[in-house]
Structure 1
Amino acid sequence: MNLREYENVLLITDDKKPYLMDLLWEFYQVGRTISKRVKKVCYSSLGEHGKEPPEEVWVETFGVSVVEELKKSGLFNRILNKEDYSEEDSIDIIKKYAKDVPQVVIAFPYYSTTHTFYRKVLTKHFGVRYASMPLFEPDMFYGPMDVDWEEVSKLSSDIAQILTEGEWVEVSAEKTSLEFSIEGRQGWADTGLFHNPGDYGNLPAGEAFIAPLEDSAYGKLTILYGPDRRLDSPITLKFKNGAVEEVEGFDPYVDHIEGLFKEHERARFIAELGIGTNPKAKRAENILECEKIRGTIHIAIGDNHTFGGINKVPFHTDYVVFEPTVVIGGKGWQKLLLEKGRLRV
């Protein structure tokens, strides 16, 4: 994080797992050896990835006045529920009334805050350096956190540039065949180095990612793992016009995801393509680490409005594809980016 002694730091987590409260205290103690301006918040678990943090986090981050003014304008609950609201008006209020905003935020609740308006405002409009660590487990310090971050940063940045230049993508793997457009979208690198204003990403880091055009995906995606476990049996998501139109399989996760689709129709849409670049990421049953495994890709559905897309919904989940072949191209060119899980960069 390149934390400096004069900087304000905010640590946030939820109460989903007991060890997260232990981590909160340990991170707090370590932070205090560098800066005396460290605050911490533990809040009640929200139950899904991509939901906005609750009111107490907004208060600690921006101050009481921001929340009060957002409520007066009728915006606060709409933001928390990811309903239609004016981002411009919200940002104007936050900028006007914000006080003592931290320079560094380390967010390690069980459920992710990466794809939230909260994170977007902090990094884009306040230049906050933001580490998002959903599903983090302490033993990750001895695996995917213990890497050459300069090497990971360079590889991730090189692939992100290829994604930016590309217009279309074709993905194939066992029981998976998917194509979609990335024309006009920007690729991003999750480097693990958050030294400059506005830098953000995961820890452990190690991927390049992009938001596909939401209505462009066609084909099928077969997955073996949910966010935190191996499925009892594979399930297949069938895409048409960018959205999952059918879910096939017998694992209980099918009922879970279909229930989400009934609650949030726009959760069906393709949200992200990511390419893993971390050489020490190994664990498949934890999506935070799994999506970083070098030679894998992941496809997400749900929210992507915080990194170049237009879909706004309180849900974002990634699904990893192992040993994929990925071809990316544009007008007059194409590149074999991965061949059966081997990077060609």
Structure 2
Amino acid sequence: MSRNKDRVPRIQSILVTLNNHVREMKIMNTKQKLNQSASTVMRQCMALQPHEQLLIVSNIETTEIAQALFSAGESIAPDTRWIVYPTGNINGEEPPSWVAEALKCADVVVAPTQKSISHTRARREACEKYKTRIATLPGITTDSFIRGLSADYDAIAKISERVYQALASHKIANITSSSGTRLTIELGNKPIQSIGQINTPGAFSNLPDGESELAPTNANGTLVVDCCGQLITEPTRITINDGNITDIEKTASGQRFETLIRSSEKQDGNANARFIAEFAIGTNPNAKLSGNLLEDEKVLGTCHIAFGDNTSYPGGINESVLHIDTIVKSPTIYLDDLLIMEEGRLLI
């Protein structure tokens, strides 16, 4: 009997050791995948060269990913630098002036930040005037970073090209969904492709990538948002007239969304945050709906409609501190009379 009692502590000790070993293996595996994805960013997406100056821009919350990116970059370009600044309040808020200046001085910038600087004057000026090429990774998580950047970007480019050509050759998009979306969008402006190739002076995209998008000229109807990061977590109806939000359903999610819109209007001094900014179709087969908006908007089988700033897109003239994407799951999409997506299945 006493012998059996003696065995129990030993067995428990062995189990603890095994559990610790498994945990360590998982951590090592995650770190290895993180480093592989960081290498993909530098070598494949940014095409970083040894003579270039690389700048990593991050917040405290994204330190782990920033560290992996810094190490991957420094192994290629010795002049690699890393700055950390306090997290902003909303997506689209201008970074501090010293960060804006730093963006202009680098050849290449990779910015894993909590809040997006994609649609800011600082980012646009660095790209357009100083020809910095920039990748932003707003709200990035370790899982999304690993998953989204392990995709076959050659395959993403082919899918994106087909969607791009369809958008470029049609005038009207009609979008419906099982959750209640009935929305007509006037396409108007030239589309672009975001395929993870940020390798020319002044180029910009966010990562992980995979979408074809444009700045619409108008929209009317009902948009039922299935998700929008942690902001909208239940289907929420938004009414759009002449391109502007005129009503938001009074769900808990809807009230959070309304609060964000009103806060942005206050900062803008106008109602530009209510204007439709972007229509896009996700083209990344590896991305999955995870609650991380950066990844969610890239999921193949979804589309997204953004509100607020669209001056980063060809023909976009709506300026706002806000750019917020809203996701429609498994939509059916007609471009004029061409059915390109049926309940989330791409047909082109």
Q: TM-score, normalised by structure 1?
A: 0.81
Classify the secondary structure of the residue corresponding to 1:143.
helix
Instruction: Give the share of equivalent positions with the same residue, in percent.
Output: 30
Q: Is residue 332 of structure 2 the alignment partner of residue 325 of structure 1?
A: yes
Letter in structure 2 aligned against 1:195: N
Q: Is contact 2:133-2:199 (8 Å) kept?
A: yes
- Distance in 2 (CA, whole Å) between partners of 1:103 and 1:160 is 28
- Distance in 1 (CA, whole Å) between partners of 2:117 and 2:195 is 18
Q: Is residue 90 of structure 2 the alignment partner of residue 48 of structure 1?
A: yes
Q: Is contact 2:276-2:308 (8 Å) kept?
A: yes
Q: Is residue 67 of structure 2 the alignment partner of residue 60 of structure 1?
A: no
- Matching residue of 2:284: 278
- Matching residue of 1:157: 161
The CA deviation at 1:230 is 6.0
The CA deviation at 1:199 is 2.4
4+ runs of 1 displaced by more than 3 Å?
none
Letter in structure 2 aligned against 1:4: Q
The CA deviation at 1:229 is 6.1
Q: How does 1:8-23 map to 2 (within 5 A)?
A: 8-15=53-60, 17=61, 20-23=62-65
- Matching residue of 1:70: none
Q: How does 1:1-345 map to 2 (within 5 A)?
A: 1-15=46-60, 17=61, 20-62=62-104, 101-174=105-178, 175-183=180-188, 185-213=189-217, 216-228=218-230, 231=233, 233-251=234-252, 253-263=253-263, 264=265, 265-308=271-314, 309-329=316-336, 334-345=337-348
- Distance in 2 (CA, whole Å) between partners of 1:128 and 1:114 is 13
The CA deviation at 1:211 is 0.5
Q: Is contact 1:117-1:306 (8 Å) kept?
A: no
Distance 1:230 1:245, change over 3 A: closer
The CA deviation at 1:194 is 1.6
Q: Is contact 1:225-1:284 (8 Å) kept?
A: no
Classify the secondary structure of the residue corresponding to 1:126.
coil
Q: TM-score, normalised by structure 2?
A: 0.81
Give the number of aligned pairs: 295
The CA deviation at 1:164 is 2.2
- Distance in 1 (CA, whole Å) between partners of 2:235 and 2:281 is 21
- Matching residue of 1:65: none
Distance 1:226 1:46, change over 3 A: same
- Distance in 1 (CA, whole Å) between partners of 2:168 and 2:93 is 27
Classify the secondary structure of the residue corresponding to 1:56.
helix
- Matching residue of 2:7: none
Distance 1:258 1:141, change over 3 A: closer
- Distance in 1 (CA, whole Å) between partners of 2:338 and 2:129 is 35
1:45-88 deviation line (CA, Å, top 9, x unaligned)? 111111222112023233xxxxxxxxxxxxxxxxxxxxxxxxxx
Q: Is contact 1:220-1:237 (8 Å) kept?
A: yes
1:305-328 deviation line (CA, Å, top 9, x unaligned)? 111211100001111111101111
The CA deviation at 1:128 is 2.4
Classify the secondary structure of the residue corresponding to 2:317.
coil
**Structure with bigger gyration radius:** 2
Letter in structure 1 aligned against 2:51: Y
Q: Is contact 2:113-2:139 (8 Å) kept?
A: yes
Q: Is contact 1:157-1:191 (8 Å) kept?
A: no
Q: Is contact 1:128-1:199 (8 Å) kept?
A: yes
- Distance in 1 (CA, whole Å) between partners of 2:91 and 2:145 is 22
Classify the secondary structure of the residue corresponding to 1:314.
coil
- Distance in 2 (CA, whole Å) between partners of 1:296 and 1:61 is 32
| Higher helix residue share | 2
